[in-house]
Each structure stands twice: as structure tokens, then as C-alpha cells.
A and B are shown apart, each in its own frame.
Chain A
Amino acid sequence: MTEWAWLLPALPAVAAALGLVGWRLVPGGPAVVAIVGSAGALVVAVALVVAVEGDPARVHESARAWTPIGGIGLNVGTRVDGLAAVVAVMVCVVALLVQVYSTAYMAGDPRYSTYAAEISLFTSAMLLVVVASDLFELLIGWEVMGLCSYLLVGHYWQTEGARAAAVKAFVTTRIGDTGFLFGIFVLGVGAGSFDVSAVTAGAGSMPHTTVVAGALLLLCGVVGKSAQFPLHVWLPDAMAGPTPVSALIHAATMVAAGIYVVARLYPVFLAAPVALTVLGIIACITMLGAALAAFAEDDLKRVLAWSTVSQLAYMAAGLAVGGWTASVWHLLTHAAFKALLFLAAGSVLRTVGTNLMSEMGGLWRRMPLTFGTALVGAGALAGIPPFAGAFSKDGILAAAREHGGGLGTSVYVVGLVTVFVTAAYVTRLVLRTFLGSYRGHARLHEAPLVMTGPLVLLAGFAVLLGAPVLPSSYGVRSWFGVPAGSEPLHVGIGGVLLTSAVALLAVGLLAWQHRRQPATDPIDALGRAALPLRRAFWVDEAYSAVLIRPVHALAAAVVEIDRRGLDATVVGTGRTASLAGGGLRLLQNGNVQAYLSALVIGVLIVVISVSVAVAA
């Protein structure tokens, strides 16, 4: 079965091509093409899971040589193990649900066919990253994802904000991708092959500096793609795209690809502990900072975006402390509950017509289904049992505690604090959006079945993905196949109770504040201390001051030099020639007699000169 894994990226790719050029030929149009493509990929992915279920740690490879590059051959093929199969299922499920949801959400959009095809292309690229057996193959999918992200964030290209956000997302991730590309070079040359299996197998025997350099360079790409500090600034702005796009790309899949690559190449990182430490530090900063920024944000989608940044940091931190299984599990649960929250947000935005929570409130009466599913997602995000997020997050914290040392302790403490902040902003989100009294003016109504259906399904996943922990840690383990050297999954009842208590404390605090002052935004209770949170710790401003303004000034200087120096020379040459020509032009006065006089005198001068010369 696993030799058919190439169908996984191929089916959505065909759907994308068909959706771009040939959807008029298909009955039902672009929606049918896109949904059939995603559904086909989902069937293949499920079949793959079934195929590898017996021994998930075993790697099934089918690759063929493509082209030699400088002595190191490039292969093209698939590499399927438990991790790849399960992540592929996750990607296909979210993609399919988003495609279904989009048929209603994007109804009437003049560029819907392009939009659906781009999502299909994105799905294909993500699945290519998931199953790629070669690092360059992986890079192709990685870059195509970046392209699709750019296109989809800029879907509403008529608005200035969407254009700027698309460029920002693209450029910021490109900065990381440059490092990623060089990381591939370093590792590939070090291992003598770009094959994933060869690189992971050869990580231990490579020179230490090579591994460290390769891992750190790969981290650049991971930090950019997964929106970690300091390259996290693009993700909140990317919310200018359509909401289903945010759910698929900027919550469930593309941003998770960075984490996935680390998980996939985990032996390389294990061989370079420095890289893991750097990753852990970055994750700690990002985790808490993004959660605090989420608490101060008024834009519903941007709250979720900051939350995504924070949750991705959890996964990165988990990988840094050896909690491989917990991180991958959190990746799956996060994909479910964050996609759910985004789609619920889309359902809300479509009705109230604004992103600002200050113009919402009290929606639960009119949108009970959206409210109910969003509550499930919020519970999972906050880490409250029995929802999935509680267990996977606790798995990460448990791994940090077991890892110990400075890194493990910091991750544990920061993680616990972030659990508190997360619960606080989630509660604030629910309070400001669904509870209280409505502060806007739109006519509220529940979303159609095509949109609420995916919500209910995803809510189911958000609950059920927590189930494997209940009897023992065996279930999760049997799905993924843990690489050697990482901590096994330990979800103890004590840890879960602690995180739940912390989360519930935050919820209670917020609820108490809400009961006291129902009309006040909880962030206002912080007073002046909230300013750094509102501005997201001035990271954008810092970039503007350190990078953007100097670059603009440099560009202005270059333009000025070009205008004053180079252009002036060119223009001056032209002017001089014109002036000289103008002088000659005075002779061309149209008076034939003047011409003839010049002619006669010229002839005479020639004759006299020749005569004198001959006589002499």
C-alpha cells in the first residue's frame, strides 16, 4: 500500500490544476473538483495509516533517482511511517472540512474557483512535505506552501492591508527559508545524500559542527514557517486572508510544518543539543509573549493568531525537551481545536460583519451551535479536561519536568504560566464574543449547515483526540512510533489536575471580573500595564526602527544618488547634445539662398585649397 503514497500529493495537485483551468468541464464546478481532490487524498491517507498501523516505527520508502547534483544524487519518492501517515490524515481532514466550509463561506466570491484551486495546491504541497523522502522534495513542498500562503493571504488584494500582509508573510518566511536551504546543503553534504533516512541515520556519525550548523540553519526555516520569535510578526497580519484559509494554513497545517520537520529530522536535532536548547529558549519567549499579546488583542482573528503562535511554541518547547510524542500529539490536537476555533470565528464574522470583539457579545442566543462548538475548542485550547488539548499540553509539561535541568525547568515554569494566560485570554474571548449583551448592529443568525457541519466534526475530534490517554499512554505511542532518544509519553493524573487547576483559576478570575463589571473588557482592568501587551511588546516597531526605516532611507539615498548623479549625467549629456544641435539648427533657417551661399563658398574654399596645395 505504501508504494501508492505518491497519490497523496498527486490527487490535490490534479484537483488544483483542474480547478485552475478546467473546472468548467466538471459538473458542479470548482467546489466539486476541490472537495473530490481532498476526499481522495483523505482516503489514501487513511489507507496509509491502516497499512503502517502494525509497526508504526518502521519506515516504508519507495524512491527513485531523479538527477545527480554535484556527485550527490537527488531522489524523488515517498517515505511513510506512522508519523507521516497520521499527520497526512490530519492535513486531509482539515483540508476537506475547510473546502466544504468554504463553499458556503466564500459563496458569491468572484474568485472562488481560484481560491479553491489554491487551497488544493496548498494541500498538495503540505502532503508533499509530509511524505517527502528527499530533503529537496521537502523543500519544494515547503516553498509552494509559502507561495500559496502568499496568494491566499492576498486573496482580497483590493485592500491595502491584505496586500501588505501577503508581502510581509512571504518576505518574513523567506528570510527563514534561506537558512533552511543552507541547512539542507550542510546536512546533505555532511551525510553524502539528501535522503531523509540517510540524513537522520548519518546524523550521529557526522562531525559535531556540521550537525550543529545544519540543525541551527534548519531552525531558521522552522522559526520562520512556524512563526516563532523573532520571525513571528507575519502571522497576526496574515489574518487579512479569508478565515477558512487561516484555519487551514495559519493554524492547522503550514505553521505546523516547521514543527513537523523538526519531528521528522529529530535524530539530527538530538545530535545537536545546542540547537534544541536554542529552540527551547525561542519557544519559551514566544509562548508567553504571544499569549500575553493575545490577551490584549481586540481583533477576534488576531487573538486566535497569537494563540497559534503560542501553541506552536508549546510544540517547539516539547521537542526541545525531548517530548517528541507529546509535541506531535499536541500538533494533532491543536490542528483540530484551532481549526475549529477559526471556523467558528469565520461563522461569527460572517454574521456580525466585523473582526472586533468590542462590537460582538451575546451571540450565544442566536448562534447556539457555533457557540457550543467554540466552547469545546476553547476548552481544548485552555487545557481543561476532558478536551484533547489538556492532555497533550500536559504531556509536554510532563516531558519538561522529566527532562529537568535549566532548560526543562524553564520550559515547565513558563509553560505553566502560559497555561494560566492562555486560559485567561480564552475566557476573555468567549466572554467578549458570546456572552454578555450584543454591542453591534447586525442581524444575527446561525450559519448554514455546510458551515456548522465541519464545526461539529472538528469539535468531535477535539474531544476524541484526548481519548488515547485514558487507559494508558499506549494508544498514542502505537500510532507514531517514537524515535530513539525521546522521552516516552507520561500523562499522569496529577499533572493534568495541576494544569487544569491553573487554567480554571484563570477562568474563575475572569468570570468573577465579568460578573462585577459585565461591560468592561478584562484587558482594561490591567490599566497602564496593558500597553506593552496591546503593542505586542513593540516587536513590529523594533523591526521598523532597526530594519525597515534604515532600508527605506538607504533606498531613498540610492534613488537620490541615481537621480542627482547618474541621471543627471545622462540628462546632461542629452542637454549638451541638444544645445549643440540647437546651435547647428540656427543654420537650418529655411532660406535657400543661405544654403546656396554656403555651398558656393564651400566649393570655392575647396578649389582654392586644392590650387594652393597643387601650386605649393
Chain B
Amino acid sequence: MTGADVVFALLGVVCLAAAVLVVTSPNVIHAALWLVVCFGALAGCYLVLTAEFVAWVQVLIYIGAIVVLMLFGAMLTRAPIGPQPAGGAGGLDSGNRPLAALAGLATTGVLGTLVISAFRGAYVDIHHTAVGDGRVIGAAVFRFFVLPFEIASVLLLAALVGAIVLTRREVSDAEQADRA
């Protein structure tokens, strides 16, 4: 049991607790904020695993962009702000909860059993490994993963265009004539 183990375990506990709160909080805004905590703890985990660049990207994109996007979405869809009665008609949880709990527990069980039995004795030597900082990751991306990188940029463009098309309000001919 090294210091890294302890730190990782503590961060993991925080992350897991925040994640559970994300999926159980009766308030969607609170859930989004718990998502920030969860992702932050996860970024700490990445740091422990020497993935420095990924950790910063996690903070920047997930916490900085995606969660903010979620909050916008919650507000634009007029999600009820403030605590809601759990499981009620207006609640944030649907009637599918027992089944969902069963499915979640079973998934966890299966995956956990699998990975624990597979990697019981595996040990990560984090002291003798190259730290994944910006230089190393940049070299890897632009030396070996250029094609996926470019394809990812096309994907983002497509998503951008798709999102605009989907959310764009239809403008009738009459309105267009008024504007002209």
C-alpha cells in the first residue's frame, strides 16, 4: 500500500460518491454540480496515473464545456429547479428505478468480478514511466495518431452543423418576407 494507492482510493471514493449523487439527486442542477465534483476527482485520478495532459483536458473540456452545456440544456428545457419529490410524478426519477437498480448492480458485479479476477496482482509502476505531459502526448498525437485526429475534427464539425440544424427554429415564409 503506497501513498499513490491511498490518494487514488480517496479520490475514487469522492468520485464514486459524487457519481452516485449525480444519478440520485432530485434536482437536475445539483446533479450537474455533483458531476463537476465527480469529474474533478477523476482528473485527480488521472494525475495519479501520470496522465497529466488528459487530466487538464478533463478539467477544461468536461468541467469547463460539457457541464456548462448541460446546465444550459437544463435551463432551456425549463427543468424544475429546486428539490423535487423523489419518485413522484414530477420527480427526476422514472418508475423504472427498481429495474435500473438491478441492471446497474448486475453490470457492476459482472464488470467488477471480471476486472478484479483478471488484474488481481497487476501493479502499475508509476515511478518509472514517462509522464503524459503536453509534449509527450502532442508528439504521440501528431506523430502516430494524425489520421484519427483529423477524422475527429471532421466529426466535431459534423456535430456542430447537426446541432445547429436540429435546434434551429423554423422560419416561415411570411417571417422571411417581413425581414427582407
Q: Mark A588-616, 1 if CB is under 8 A from B, else 0.
A: 00010110010011001001100100000
Picked from A591, A593, A604, A611, the residue with its CB within 8 Å of the CB of B107 is: A604
Given the complex of chains A and B, what is the CA–CA distance between A601 and B100 in angstroms?
Answer: 9
Given the complex of chains A and B, what is the CA–CA distance between A601 and B101 in angstroms?
Answer: 11
**Chain A CB within 8 A of B166 CB:** no
B103 adjacent to A600 (CB under 8 Å): yes
A608 adjacent to B100 (CB under 8 Å): no
- Chain A residue nearest to B98 (CB atoms) is A597
Q: What are the residues of chain A within 8 A of B102 when measuring CB–CB?
A: 601
- Chain B residue nearest to A605 (CB atoms) is B106
Interface centre among A591, A597, A608 (most CB of B within 10 A): A597
Given the complex of chains A and B, what is the CA–CA distance between A608 and B100 in angstroms?
Answer: 18
A604 adjacent to B96 (CB under 8 Å): no
A-B residue pairs in contact (CB < 8 Å), sample of 19: A591-B94, A591-B96, A593-B94, A593-B96, A593-B100, A594-B96, A594-B99, A597-B96, A597-B99, A597-B100, A600-B107, A601-B99, A601-B102, A601-B103, A601-B106, A604-B103, A604-B106, A604-B107, A608-B110
A604 adjacent to B99 (CB under 8 Å): no
Q: What are the residues of chain B within 8 A of A607 when measuring CB–CB?
A: 110
Given the complex of chains A and B, what is the CA–CA distance between A591 and B99 in angstroms?
Answer: 13
Given the complex of chains A and B, what is the CA–CA distance between A422 and B107 in angstroms?
Answer: 107
Q: What are the residues of chain B within 8 A of A593 when measuring CB–CB?
A: 94, 96, 100
- Chain A residue nearest to B96 (CB atoms) is A593
Residue positions of B touching A, CB distance < 8 A:
94, 96, 99-100, 102-103, 106-107, 110
Q: Mark A141-167, 1 if CB is under 8 A from B, else 0.
A: 000000000000000000000000000
- Chain A residue nearest to B94 (CB atoms) is A593
Given the complex of chains A and B, what is the CA–CA distance between A191 and B94 in angstroms?
Answer: 95
Residue positions of A touching B, CB distance < 8 A:
591, 593-594, 597, 600-601, 604, 607-608, 611
Q: What are the residues of chain B within 8 A of A597 when measuring CB–CB?
A: 96, 99-100, 103
Interface majority SS (helix, strand, loop, mixed), chain A: helix
- Chain B residue nearest to A599 (CB atoms) is B103
Given the complex of chains A and B, what is the CA–CA distance between A151 and B157 in angstroms?
Answer: 82
Picked from A591, A594, A604, the residue with its CB within 8 Å of the CB of B110 is: A604
Given the complex of chains A and B, what is the CA–CA distance between A594 and B107 in angstroms?
Answer: 16
Given the complex of chains A and B, what is the CA–CA distance between A502 and B110 in angstroms?
Answer: 119
Distance in Å: Cβ of A149 to nearest Cβ of chain B: 74
Given the complex of chains A and B, what is the CA–CA distance between A594 and B98 in angstroms?
Answer: 11
Given the complex of chains A and B, what is the CA–CA distance between A512 and B111 in angstroms?
Answer: 123
Q: What are the residues of chain B within 8 A of A600 when measuring CB–CB?
A: 103, 107
Distance in Å: Cβ of B118 to nearest Cβ of chain A: 12
Distance in Å: Cβ of B177 to nearest Cβ of chain A: 40
Given the complex of chains A and B, what is the CA–CA distance between A601 and B96 in angstroms?
Answer: 13
Given the complex of chains A and B, what is the CA–CA distance between A423 and B110 in angstroms?
Answer: 113
Give the top 7 A-B pairs by smallest Cβ distance, nearest first. A597-B99, A600-B103, A593-B96, A604-B106, A601-B103, A597-B103, A607-B110
- Chain B residue nearest to A593 (CB atoms) is B96
Distance in Å: Cβ of A607 to nearest Cβ of chain B: 6
Given contacts A597-B103, A601-B102, A604-B103, 17 further A-B contacts (CB under 8 A): A591-B94, A591-B96, A593-B96, A593-B100, A594-B96, A594-B99, A597-B96, A597-B99, A597-B100, A600-B103, A600-B107, A601-B99, A601-B103, A601-B106, A604-B107, A607-B110, A611-B110
Distance in Å: Cβ of A235 to nearest Cβ of chain B: 81
Given the complex of chains A and B, what is the CA–CA distance between A239 and B69 in angstroms?
Answer: 95
Given the complex of chains A and B, what is the CA–CA distance between A146 and B102 in angstroms?
Answer: 83
Distance in Å: Cβ of B134 to nearest Cβ of chain A: 38
Given the complex of chains A and B, what is the CA–CA distance between A591 and B94 in angstroms?
Answer: 10
- Chain B residue nearest to A607 (CB atoms) is B110
Q: What are the residues of chain A within 8 A of B106 when measuring CB–CB?
A: 601, 604
Given the complex of chains A and B, what is the CA–CA distance between A600 and B99 in angstroms?
Answer: 10
Given the complex of chains A and B, what is the CA–CA distance between A596 and B114 in angstroms?
Answer: 23
Given the complex of chains A and B, what is the CA–CA distance between A608 and B99 in angstroms?
Answer: 18
Distance in Å: Cβ of A188 to nearest Cβ of chain B: 84
Q: What are the residues of chain A within 8 A of B99 when measuring CB–CB?
A: 594, 597, 601
- Chain A residue nearest to B106 (CB atoms) is A604
Distance in Å: Cβ of B103 to nearest Cβ of chain A: 5
Distance in Å: Cβ of A1 to nearest Cβ of chain B: 92
Interface centre among A591, A604, A608 (most CB of B within 10 A): A604
Q: What are the residues of chain A within 8 A of B110 when measuring CB–CB?
A: 604, 607-608, 611
Q: What are the residues of chain A within 8 A of B107 when measuring CB–CB?
A: 600, 604
- Chain B residue nearest to A608 (CB atoms) is B110
Distance in Å: Cβ of B62 to nearest Cβ of chain A: 24
- Chain B residue nearest to A601 (CB atoms) is B103
Q: What are the residues of chain A within 8 A of B103 when measuring CB–CB?
A: 597, 600-601, 604
Q: What are the residues of chain A within 8 A of B94 when measuring CB–CB?
A: 591, 593
Given the complex of chains A and B, what is the CA–CA distance between A417 and B100 in angstroms?
Answer: 105
Q: What are the residues of chain A within 8 A of B100 when measuring CB–CB?
A: 593, 597
Given the complex of chains A and B, what is the CA–CA distance between A202 and B99 in angstroms?
Answer: 96
Distance in Å: Cβ of B87 to nearest Cβ of chain A: 14
Distance in Å: Cβ of A587 to nearest Cβ of chain B: 12
Given the complex of chains A and B, what is the CA–CA distance between A611 and B102 in angstroms?
Answer: 19
Distance in Å: Cβ of A615 to nearest Cβ of chain B: 10
Distance in Å: Cβ of A240 to nearest Cβ of chain B: 72
Q: What are the residues of chain B within 8 A of A611 when measuring CB–CB?
A: 110
- Chain B residue nearest to A604 (CB atoms) is B106
Given the complex of chains A and B, what is the CA–CA distance between A593 and B94 in angstroms?
Answer: 9
Q: What are the residues of chain A within 8 A of B96 when measuring CB–CB?
A: 591, 593-594, 597
Given the complex of chains A and B, what is the CA–CA distance between A611 and B103 in angstroms?
Answer: 18
- Chain B residue nearest to A594 (CB atoms) is B96
Distance in Å: Cβ of A413 to nearest Cβ of chain B: 102
Given the complex of chains A and B, what is the CA–CA distance between A611 and B113 in angstroms?
Answer: 11
Given the complex of chains A and B, what is the CA–CA distance between A611 and B112 in angstroms?
Answer: 14
- Chain A residue nearest to B104 (CB atoms) is A600
Given the complex of chains A and B, what is the CA–CA distance between A608 and B110 in angstroms?
Answer: 7
Distance in Å: Cβ of A271 to nearest Cβ of chain B: 96
Given the complex of chains A and B, what is the CA–CA distance between A594 and B103 in angstroms?
Answer: 11
- Chain A residue nearest to B113 (CB atoms) is A611
Distance in Å: Cβ of A616 to nearest Cβ of chain B: 16
- Chain B residue nearest to A600 (CB atoms) is B103
Distance in Å: Cβ of B116 to nearest Cβ of chain A: 14
Given the complex of chains A and B, what is the CA–CA distance between A608 and B114 in angstroms?
Answer: 10
Distance in Å: Cβ of B96 to nearest Cβ of chain A: 5
Q: What are the residues of chain B within 8 A of A601 when measuring CB–CB?
A: 99, 102-103, 106
- Chain A residue nearest to B99 (CB atoms) is A597
Given the complex of chains A and B, what is the CA–CA distance between A600 and B110 in angstroms?
Answer: 12
Given the complex of chains A and B, what is the CA–CA distance between A607 and B99 in angstroms?
Answer: 18
Given the complex of chains A and B, what is the CA–CA distance between A610 and B29 in angstroms?
Answer: 41
Distance in Å: Cβ of A426 to nearest Cβ of chain B: 94
